[in-house]
Structure 1
Amino acid sequence: MKIRITVLCDNLVCRLAGSGEHGFSVFIETDKGNYLFDTGSGHSIVGNSLVFCKDLRTIRKIFLSHGHYDHTGGLPEVLKIRGKVSVHAHPDIFLERIAVIKEKTKEIKRFVGIPFKKSYLESLGANFIFNTKFVEVEKGISLTGQVPRKTPFEKPDPRLFTEVNGKINQDILLDDQSLILDSKKGLILILGCAHSGMINIINHVINKTKKEKIYAILGGTHLDFLTAEQLEKSIEFLKKIEVEKIGVSHCTGLKAAFRLQQEFGDRFFYGCVGGVLEV
C-alpha cells in the first residue's frame, strides 16, 4: 500500500506556509483513499489543509487518538466541510478531563477534555464507532485499542486527572490508542500523545500484528517528562527494534527531540506542520 502522510497540525511549522498550534493532526493518503488522524486544537486545520492542498471533503474515516482538546478541537470544522463520516475512537473520549498545574503554593485547574458534546458532533455528521480492543478497520489499517501498561517507568502524566461527580482521580487515559498502517517497507505507527507509553505501544503492536518490522514512527511521544535515565532506556529500545524513521511531534518536548536527533541522525525528523512521510 502506497502511503503519503502530511502533518496538518503541530506546535511547530517546518514550511514557509502554514500555521502552528498546540495540537496534532495528520492527513493520510493511500491507494484506498484519504484518512484523518486527530484534528488538532481547531485553530489551524482548515487553513493548513488549504495551504497544503489536502481536501478534507475526501476523508473516508477519522481516527481519534484520545479525548483531549488538542487532538479533537478541530472536529467540528472538519465535519462542517466533510459532512457525515465515521469517527473511530475509544468510548472514554468524552470523559471530563482536567490538568492540574502547580505554581508555587497555588494549584491551577484547567479543562483539557473534548470541548464539544457528542450530540453536537453527531448533528454535524459524526458517526462514532467505538473500540476498546485492537481492530483492523480496513485491510492494512488498524487501531491498537487499549494498550497494556507493562514498562515500569512509563507512568501516566501526573498532571492529568478526570473529574466525575466532583471527584478527581488520576487519569490513566485508557482511551489512548494509535494507528497502524501496513506499508511495503514495514509498519508505520502514528501516535497521538503515546499516553500509554511509547514502548508499551510498540510491544503491543508487534504482539497483535505478529510483525516485528516497524519502518516508521510519527507523532507525539510524551517523552518530555521522563528523567534522563528513562529517556535513554526509551532510546535503547528504539535502537534495538531498528526503526528506520523516527518523526516526533507535539508533546515530545524539545530536549527529548534534540536527544533523539543526536542519536538517530538522518533517521530522525521533526513531524512539524507541512512535514511529509512518504512510502
Structure 2
Amino acid sequence: MRKLQVTILVENTVGVSVGILAEWGLSMLLDFGDEKILFDAGEQGNLINNAQILGYDLRHIERIILSHGHYDHTGGLFKLLQYRGAIPVYAHPDLFAGHFGKGGEGQANRYIGVPHCLKLLESAGAEFHWHRKPFELRPGLWLSGEIPRETPFEHIEDQLIEIKGENAVHDRIKDDLSLFYVTDRGLIILLGCAHSGLVNIVEHAKRVTNENKVRAIIGGTHLGRASLDQQLKTIDYLRGLDLECLAPNHCTGLGVLSKLVTEFPSAFKWAMAGSTLDFK
C-alpha cells in the first residue's frame, strides 16, 4: 500500500500553528515513509523555520522538485541550499526563461523569474536534472513533463510575458510541471501554480499514469485570475471527478476558494502553511 503525507510548509496564509510564517509562495513536503521530497521552495526561505516548528529538519530531504521558474516557488531555494547542502533538483529546462509580468501604462515590465542565477545555485549545491517529458521519480510518483494545452476554455493570462532578446512574447510557461502519485485508491495530483490549466493537467495525469480515478488535488490552481467562464467550467469538470480530497491554495484566490468550499463541502480541505494531509 502506497502512503503519502503532504505538509504545507509555505503558503499565503497560516492556520493556528504558533510561529509558522506566511509568505506569497508555495512549498510542500512530501513524506513517503522511506523518503522525503520537497516540492517547491516558496519565496523568502520561511520554509526552514516552518519545517523546524513542525518537527522536520530539511537537511534530511533527499530531492527537490521545482514546479516552474517563478520567484514565489523558487526564491527560497538558495537559502535552503545553504542550509541543506548538495542535493538533486528536478525541473524543466526552461526554468530560467525570461519570465516577466507586463507593466502597466508608463511602467516597466517586472521580472518574476528565478531570483538567483543557475551558476550561483549550482555553487550552493543544486544538482539540476532537466526533464521535458514525463519521468518516474520513484515507484508511482511521476513528474509530469510539459503539459499539453488542449482545453479550449483554459488560458494563460495575457500579462505574463517572456523576454527573448529584445522581444516580449506571451509567456506559455512551458516549464510548468506537476506531480502525479498513483495510490491504490486513485491519483494524487500535486500542483505548483497550474499555469497549464487544471483540466489539462488532470487529463495529462490520467494518460501518463494510465489511472482514471483521481483521488486528490492539492496546490495552486491559478483560478484566482482566470475568467469567470473558466472558473465555472473548471468547477463543473471537478464535479465529475468524485474527489476524496480537494485542497487548493496559493494562487487559487479567496473568491474561488469560497466557491469550492460550497461546491465540495466533504472533499474540501484548507491547505494553509502548517497544514498536513494524510493519505493511507
Please report how far the alpha carbon of residue 119 of structure 1 lies from its aligned counterpart in structure 2 after TM superposition. Answer: 1.0
Corresponding residue for residue 19 of structure 1:
21
Corresponding residue for residue 157 of structure 2:
157
Corresponding residue for residue 73 of structure 1:
75
Question: Residue 136 in 1 paired to residue 136 in 2?
Answer: yes
Corresponding residue for residue 248 of structure 1:
248
In structure 1, distance between residues paired with 2:16 and 2:131 = 35
| 1:100-115 equivalences in 2 (<5 Å) | 100-102=102-104, 105-115=105-115
Corresponding residue for residue 127 of structure 1:
127
Checking the alignment, whether the CA contact within 8 Å between 1:141 and 1:181 is kept in structure 2 is: yes
Please report how far the alpha carbon of residue 147 of structure 1 lies from its aligned counterpart in structure 2 after TM superposition. Answer: 0.5
Please identify which structure carries the higher strand content.
Answer: 1
Checking the alignment, whether the CA contact within 8 Å between 1:2 and 1:184 is kept in structure 2 is: no
State the secondary structure of the residue aligned to 1:246. strand
Please report how far the alpha carbon of residue 90 of structure 1 lies from its aligned counterpart in structure 2 after TM superposition. Answer: 0.1
Please report how far the alpha carbon of residue 241 of structure 1 lies from its aligned counterpart in structure 2 after TM superposition. Answer: 1.7
Corresponding residue for residue 118 of structure 2:
118
- CA displacement, residues 7-55 of structure 1 (integer Å, 9 cap, x when unaligned): 0110011123201100000011113310000000024111111111121
Please report how far the alpha carbon of residue 108 of structure 1 lies from its aligned counterpart in structure 2 after TM superposition. Answer: 4.4
| 1:90-101 equivalences in 2 (<5 Å) | 90-101=92-103
- CA displacement, residues 138-189 of structure 1 (integer Å, 9 cap, x when unaligned): 1121100000000111111211111121211110100001011223332111
Checking the alignment, whether the CA contact within 8 Å between 2:69 and 2:175 is kept in structure 1 is: yes
In structure 1, distance between residues paired with 2:172 and 2:274 = 31
Please report how far the alpha carbon of residue 236 of structure 1 lies from its aligned counterpart in structure 2 after TM superposition. Answer: 1.2
Give me the TM-score of the superposition, normalised by structure 1.
0.96
State the secondary structure of the residue aligned to 1:148. coil
- CA displacement, residues 178-229 of structure 1 (integer Å, 9 cap, x when unaligned): 0112233321111000000000000000011110111110000000122323
State the secondary structure of the residue aligned to 2:168. strand
State the secondary structure of the residue aligned to 1:87. strand
Identity of aligned residues (%): 37
Q: Residues 126 and 43 from structure 1, CA distance in 2 versus in 1: closer, same or farther, beyond 3 angstroms?
A: closer
After TM superposition, the runs of 4+ consecutive aligned structure 1 residues lying more than 6 A away are none
In structure 1, distance between residues paired with 2:103 and 2:12 = 20
In structure 2, distance between residues paired with 1:4 and 1:16 = 18
Amino acid at match of 1:99: G
State the secondary structure of the residue aligned to 2:240. helix
| 1:227-266 equivalences in 2 (<5 Å) | 227-266=227-266
In structure 1, distance between residues paired with 2:108 and 2:270 = 31
Corresponding residue for residue 185 of structure 1:
185
Corresponding residue for residue 208 of structure 2:
208
State the secondary structure of the residue aligned to 1:241. coil
In structure 2, distance between residues paired with 1:45 and 1:268 = 24
Give me the TM-score of the superposition, normalised by structure 2.
0.96
Stretch moving more, 161-170 or 177-186: 177-186
